[in-house]
Amino acid sequence: VDIVLPDLTFAEELKGKLKGLILTHAHEDHIGAVPYLWNRLRLPVWCSDFTAAVLRLKLAESEFGRQVPINRVKPGQAFEVGPFGCRFIHMTHSIPDAAALVLDTRFGRVLHTGDWKLDPAPMVGEKTDIPALEQVGKDGVLAMVCDSTNVLSPGTSGSEAEVRESLTALIKAQPKRVVLTTFASNIARMETAMMAAHAAGRELFVVGRSMRRMIEAAREVGYLKNMPPIRDERDAGLDPARQGALPAHRQPGRGQERALPGRRRPAPPRPAGRRRHGDLQLEDHPGNERTLFNLHNQLVRSGVEVITEVDHFVHVSGHPCRDEVEQMYRMIRPRSRSRSTARPATSRPTCGSRRRWASLSRSWPRTARCWSWPPAR
């Protein structure tokens, strides 16, 4: 099985009533359906600059890619989709240019938060636009659809700035090759890897097509401009003491596998003594547990010493924990509400570091993703 698709019949049945596709950000679970859905609905698309850049590269692989009308919208800029008045509010998330959608209907205002968090120092892109959200709350909101992924975890999700500091020190202390996995779309984490590699006197190799595609999209809209050069992955087997590699984790068997010791071309030399080829960060996201555990096992079998957030501070979530969700509800005070991208109640809390991985292990494979799309009936 290469790809699993939801039944899109429900969308086709609404074809005459649908006026457009509005994308809050460029994560795969928010734009991945567009190449499959668009040809059946042929609707215009609205999204931010970075989302548009990623979508264009994605659609370039389809035969109708050039036909898709993509409207780029800045935060705060008003636009209309059919009878709806729309506006984006900038939100921090683990990808640049994420946005909440303010949707004005004849029944009242709806706020769709998209995926978000509150981060005082997100490193790439702006902070969540709190004043704009407060104003929306003051004006009155009929309904809010809110990302509450980590609501079972107390406190806040933490800042990317703290991860940058921690990872930089960690990578600097490693004697041999370092492999770091992350979502390809986490541009702030990618920038962190580049800066950490530079600070440690290492060269960085990016492995995998999705990584290169995201870097291209980020540079197109002005991110990752002044970063040190990135070398071709085919050279990445030459000097284990000086190299770091940055593979995507989304597709095990592709980017990640090529980053594993002994699986690269040309084959890397095996360091003498202790079998310590590198270190690894694993990034958690609900729904990815099986992929992550498989990758973890692959790396351990390959002789890699794996460092996860259980061992070190190497990751913060891009989704809000309980205090952040509470702040959002205080600001917006919607008359009715619905959650999106949330864990089922049977899942354990996931924000705390050590407790987090252990609880994930216990809850897996019961843990399942509550998809925000297609909508629950």
- Alpha carbon 318 to chain centroid, angstroms: 7
Closest CB 95 distance from Zn ion, rounded Å: 6
Question: What are phi and psi for residue 272, nearest 5 degrees?
Answer: -75, 160
| Positive/negative CA dihedral, 272, 275, 281, 285 | positive
Closest CB 93 distance from Zn ion, rounded Å: 5
- Alpha carbon 211 to chain centroid, angstroms: 12
Positions 23 through 82 that interact with Zn ion (CB under 5 A): 27
Of 114 and 349, the one with the shorter C-beta distance to Zn ion is: 114
Closest CB 226 distance from Zn ion, rounded Å: 26
Closest CB 117 distance from Zn ion, rounded Å: 10
Which stretch in 108-116, 226-234, 292-300, 362-370 sits in contact with Zn ion by CB under 5 A?
Answer: 108-116
Of 28 and 311, the one with the shorter C-beta distance to Zn ion is: 28
Which stretch in 10-18, 110-118, 126-134, 343-351 sits in contact with Zn ion by CB under 5 A?
Answer: 110-118
CA distance 47 to 50: 8
Among 274, 263, 268, 267, smallest CA distance to 298 is for 263
Closest CB 115 distance from Zn ion, rounded Å: 3
Closest CB 62 distance from Zn ion, rounded Å: 22
Of 277 and 285, the one with the shorter C-beta distance to Zn ion is: 285
Of 98 and 102, the one with the shorter C-beta distance to Zn ion is: 98
Q: How many CB atoms lie within 10 A of CB 302?
A: 18
Taking the chain, what is the end-to-end CA distance rounded to the nearest angstrom? 27
CA distance 190 to 193: 5
Closest CB 340 distance from Zn ion, rounded Å: 10
| Positive/negative CA dihedral, 39, 19, 318, 222 | positive
Of 113 and 302, the one with the shorter C-beta distance to Zn ion is: 113
In the structure encoding, which two tokens stand for residue 201, read together?
Answer: 């006197």
Among 7, 81, 89, smallest CA distance to 45 is for 81
Closest CB 25 distance from Zn ion, rounded Å: 6
Q: With CB under 5 A, what is the number of residues at the site for Zn ion? A: 2
What are 150's strand-pairing partners? 321
- Helical H runs in 14-151? 28-31, 34-41, 49-59, 130-139
For residues 271 and 265, the answer to whether their CB atoms sit within 8 Å is no
Which stretch in 59-67, 113-121, 167-175, 324-332 sits in contact with Zn ion by CB under 5 A?
Answer: 113-121
Of 27 and 112, the one with the shorter C-beta distance to Zn ion is: 27
Of 27 and 90, the one with the shorter C-beta distance to Zn ion is: 27
| 3-class DSSP assignment, residue 150 | strand
Which stretch in 109-117, 148-156, 220-228, 296-304 sits in contact with Zn ion by CB under 5 A?
Answer: 109-117
CA distance 105 to 121: 34
Closest CB 30 distance from Zn ion, rounded Å: 6
Of 126 and 134, the one with the shorter C-beta distance to Zn ion is: 126
Q: Is 115 in the site for Zn ion (CB under 5 A)?
A: yes
Which stretch in 5-13, 112-120, 178-186, 329-337 sits in contact with Zn ion by CB under 5 A?
Answer: 112-120
Which stretch in 55-63, 111-119, 162-170, 183-191 sits in contact with Zn ion by CB under 5 A?
Answer: 111-119
Give the containing element (helix H, strand E) for 186: none
Residues of this chain that bind Zn ion (CB under 5 A): 27, 115
